[in-house]
Structure 1
Amino acid sequence: MLSRRSAQVLASSLHSSVQKSFPAPSPSAPTTNILAEVRTRSAARSNLWVHRFNDKLSQLTAQSQPSVDQAPSPSISAASSRLRMSDSFVQVFLPFRSDPSVAEQYQNPYATGAIRMGKILEELDALAFYVSHTYASNLERPVTIATASVDRIDLISSIPIDQDISIFGYVTYTGNSSMEVTIQMETLLPDKVHPADMDSAKYIRSKLPDEALSGSHLLTAKFIMVTRDPTTGKAAPLKQLVLETEEERKIFEEGAANKARKQSEAQSGLTKRAPSHDEMTLVHNMYMEYRKYVEERDTRLKVGFSGIVGGATALPKPADIEWMRDTRIQNIMLTFPQDRNLHGKVFGGWLMRLAFELGFASAFMFSRAPVKFLALDDISFRRPVEIGAILDFEAQVVYTEPTGEIVVKVVAHVVEAEKGTRDMSNEFWFTFKSYDQEGVVRKRIMPRSYHDCMLYLEGKRRFERE
């Protein structure tokens, strides 16, 4: 996984590549509320947005045809089955400074100056869809696009609620029928971009000039999108990328490495292979510790249980230890047509927001102090969620660090009440960090079964990937 430093380096590399490759904005592009349409979850509105989006791209293409001096290289002209990274570029804005009403929608009441990350996740998922739609619109036949997974989201720096934000993304790696969409967030310098331009198509396909950006990279996200034939449901081939610069080649190679890493991790997970020797030693050490403590909810203590473990008197659980199973919280949600995406299924960004907010609540209740989001690790969308399904979300803290980091696992199950079935839809892993607060004891999580120990090891692995 990307380290915080690697994410910053990648952000700089992406910025450099985009700045060199992307066309200048069209001064006469028509105006519409771009971001508001990206946000919508209604199928009817989504269809409207896709058509208007394509119309807008066509207008921009016609207005910015390259001159003779700007003609594409022979390799690109000859490679009709290939596309450039810049061909999928899409940019939208969050005008927090320019429009206080937008900022109000994202304010987080649980920490001063903080932002609602759940809503940001919704925006990222929506933008990833439109980036992939832009890329796939060059195919000869229509395809269905879906989010297969979220490889990683890293918060490099806190997102300010009092500054205007640029969110842009484009395809950075392609397989046969899958594409990696990389999304970046940057802050704008005050008064360098007119508010009307943020609501227009002027910069929807064009990177902002350097003088408009603060140089502060806030976030890096990687989504894996897949294309399917709408009739057969089978994989639909994609056009491949043309790499025009050394920076783009490095970005593409990073995407290939991410794909190989995920395949390797899928084969070495704890459900397929036993823990390593070091991990088993850790499990045994935890067992030797937790067996010493009396669990307050153990009913045997109320019916004359001797309290003797291995010949020693059981000890009260220390105040800084929390049993893993006691951090578990649950939320049941109904799904409605307003929550559907373009294909009539439940919008993935909506699922991500609900999972994040439950995970946040779990971490907050565990730490008893405000927490901030650090990273989201590898969400897989195992099955689509139909409108009308009942969603059962369950969150629990599975790993902690002495420095305050908290790993939370959230699982979403689809419940079909009439059939009495309950199937997993998604699995989410969030990393938070608790703030130091006077008078609050920093807690650590403690497993109390083999299953809990495996969750602890999985949380530890995911934390160490950062």
Structure 2
Amino acid sequence: MQDSYCEILLPFASSPEVLDRHTNASGGIRTGLLMEHLDSLSGSIAYKHVLGPKVPALPPDAGFYIVTASVERLDMLASLYPVRDMRLSGQIIHTGKSSMEVAVRMEALEKDGREQTIMVGRFCMVCRDGRTHRSRPVNPLLLDTEEDRQLYNIGEVHRRRRQTQADRSLDRVPPTASESQELHSMYLNYGQEEKTSNLNEDVERVWLGDTRLEKTMVMFPQERNVHQKIFGGYLMRLAYELGFANSCLFTRGHVTFVSLDGISFARPVPIGSLLRLTSNIVHSSSSKDYPALVHVWVHADVVDLETGTEQRTNDFRFTWCRETGPPLKRIVVPKTYGEAMQWVEGRRALEMGSEIRKLRKRQ
């Protein structure tokens, strides 16, 4: 596993030039740009695993290419403030026939030499044959130490969990009994458009479709990857920034990033194409830890200019929160069955995020 290890050092505290390129409107660090770096780092790690640690660069006749298939999770464990030097690092922890799971970590480097983990996550990379574009086998991992075996087992657990989640996807099976009950309760309390008597005067109902926020952009060659397609990390940053803006509009204030709950890359985005990013708030709630918690779904579609048809390329799911202030009084309510399924998916994502945060607190 250590043969694939890579790291990037971002000297925010010691380099004003680097800090300036990454500063957001509040004077902090642009989280979306850090995600872009993590995607690039994951690609480097995957190539290093396939090529071997002694190969200094990707040969022009390598005969294969590696793409990001999905991002399983990215969880923010601590604040990016105050601004400090950051180290982004990662390595392969699990391999399949043609897939690789990359575990990444972002750490703040304190002046006294201590390190604080800021963000952790997992990227799934896949190897493709350069001529046939079919899956190509990757090197299996040699498990030299007990720590290697533990990490590999964690990757195996993640693989089985992905299969379980796919099997219970709402594209395949209906919601569970408890989820159906929640939906029915939502309908009775908030979902009847002609009846508002059940609404608490302190609660504002917001139809899910009314939370739509989108942007359409031309994809320029400056954002290309080594395969002459638009870099996936750049798309991740665009989706993050649109989702952040939508969350701020919905909560009517500044929000803090909690987690990236999943990204799927269905197909590449060509240079010169017209890309439409569409976001919706699909679930909102309040909890003891977070007065406001919102889950955002962002879709990326390539638009055919001649026909006007759209083809889905990416799905992004994010969670943002407000850590102080009164509980959120705006409630997202679905109108259609399709929106109701999005609402259930958002509820599942928030529940999983809550369970993961509880486990980490106990550790």
Matches within 5 A, 1:46-195: 85-109=1-25, 111=26, 114-138=28-52, 142-160=63-81, 162-190=83-111
Residue aligned with 1:264, SS: helix
Residue aligned with 1:394, SS: strand
Query: Cα 1:284–1:88, aligned 2, differ >3 Å: closer, same or farther?
Result: same
Counterpart code for 2:70: S
1:321 corresponds in structure 2 to: 205
Residue aligned with 1:357, SS: helix
Query: Cα 1:255–1:454, aligned 2, differ >3 Å: closer, same or farther?
Result: same
Q: Tell me how far apart the structure 2 counterparts of residues 90 and 450 of structure 1 sit (CA, whole Å).
A: 45
Query: Cα 1:418–1:164, aligned 2, differ >3 Å: closer, same or farther?
Result: same
Once the two structures are TM-superposed, the CA of residue 451 in structure 1 deviates from its matched residue by 2.2
1:379 corresponds in structure 2 to: 263
Matched, 1:406 2:327: no
Q: Which runs of 5+ in 2 are unaligned?
A: 56-60, 354-363
Q: Tell me how far apart the structure 2 counterparts of residues 155 and 163 of structure 1 sit (CA, whole Å).
A: 16
Q: Decide whether the 8 Å contact of 1:408 with 1:431 is kept in 2.
A: yes
Q: Tell me how far apart the structure 2 counterparts of residues 121 and 93 of structure 1 sit (CA, whole Å).
A: 14
Query: Cα 1:317–1:397, aligned 2, differ >3 Å: closer, same or farther?
Result: farther
Q: Decide whether the 8 Å contact of 2:208 with 2:281 is kept in 1.
A: yes
Query: Cα 1:95–1:275, aligned 2, differ >3 Å: closer, same or farther?
Result: same
Q: Decide whether the 8 Å contact of 1:96 with 1:161 is kept in 2.
A: no
Matched, 1:427 2:315: yes
Out of 181, 186, 191, the residue aligned to residue 286 of structure 1 is 186
1:394 corresponds in structure 2 to: 278
Residue aligned with 2:141, SS: strand
Counterpart code for 2:303: V
CA distances 1:265-293 after superposition (whole Å, capped 9, x unpaired): 11211111011111111111111112455
Q: Decide whether the 8 Å contact of 2:202 with 2:329 is kept in 1.
A: no
CA distances 1:350-401 after superposition (whole Å, capped 9, x unpaired): 1000000000011100000110111112211000111111111100101112
How does the TM-score come out when normalised to structure 2? 0.89
Normalized per residue, which structure has more strand? Answer: 2
Aligned length: 342
Normalized per residue, which structure has more helix? Answer: 1
Q: Tell me how far apart the structure 2 counterparts of residues 149 and 103 of structure 1 sit (CA, whole Å).
A: 29
CA distances 1:176-201 after superposition (whole Å, capped 9, x unpaired): 111011111111132x7xxxxxxxxx
Counterpart code for 1:430: F
Out of 442, 446, 452, the residue aligned to residue 333 of structure 2 is 446
Q: Decide whether the 8 Å contact of 1:115 with 1:161 is kept in 2.
A: no
Once the two structures are TM-superposed, the CA of residue 114 in structure 1 deviates from its matched residue by 3.6
Residue aligned with 2:24, SS: coil
Once the two structures are TM-superposed, the CA of residue 324 in structure 1 deviates from its matched residue by 1.4
Out of 223, 229, 232, the residue aligned to residue 129 of structure 2 is 229
Residue aligned with 1:162, SS: coil
Matches within 5 A, 1:252-263: 252-263=152-163
Identity within the alignment, %: 36
Q: Decide whether the 8 Å contact of 2:102 with 2:123 is kept in 1.
A: yes
Higher relative contact order (CA 8 A, sep 6+): 1
Counterpart code for 1:155: M
Out of 120, 138, 145, the residue aligned to residue 220 of structure 1 is 120
Once the two structures are TM-superposed, the CA of residue 255 in structure 1 deviates from its matched residue by 0.7
Query: Cα 1:231–1:437, aligned 2, differ >3 Å: closer, same or farther?
Result: same
Q: Decide whether the 8 Å contact of 1:292 with 1:314 is kept in 2.
A: no
Q: Which runs of 5+ in 1 are unaligned?
A: 1-84, 193-211, 295-308
Query: Cα 1:289–1:165, aligned 2, differ >3 Å: closer, same or farther?
Result: same
Larger radius of gyration: 1
How does the TM-score come out when normalised to structure 1? 0.70
CA distances 1:38-60 after superposition (whole Å, capped 9, x unpaired): xxxxxxxxxxxxxxxxxxxxxxx
Query: Cα 1:317–1:442, aligned 2, differ >3 Å: closer, same or farther?
Result: closer
RMSD in angstroms over aligned alpha carbons? 2.2
1:247 corresponds in structure 2 to: 147
Once the two structures are TM-superposed, the CA of residue 437 in structure 1 deviates from its matched residue by 4.0
Residue aligned with 2:350, SS: helix
Q: Tell me how far apart the structure 2 counterparts of residues 463 and 313 of structure 1 sit (CA, whole Å).
A: 29
Q: Tell me how far apart the structure 2 counterparts of residues 128 and 314 of structure 1 sit (CA, whole Å).
A: 50
Q: Decide whether the 8 Å contact of 1:152 with 1:375 is kept in 2.
A: yes
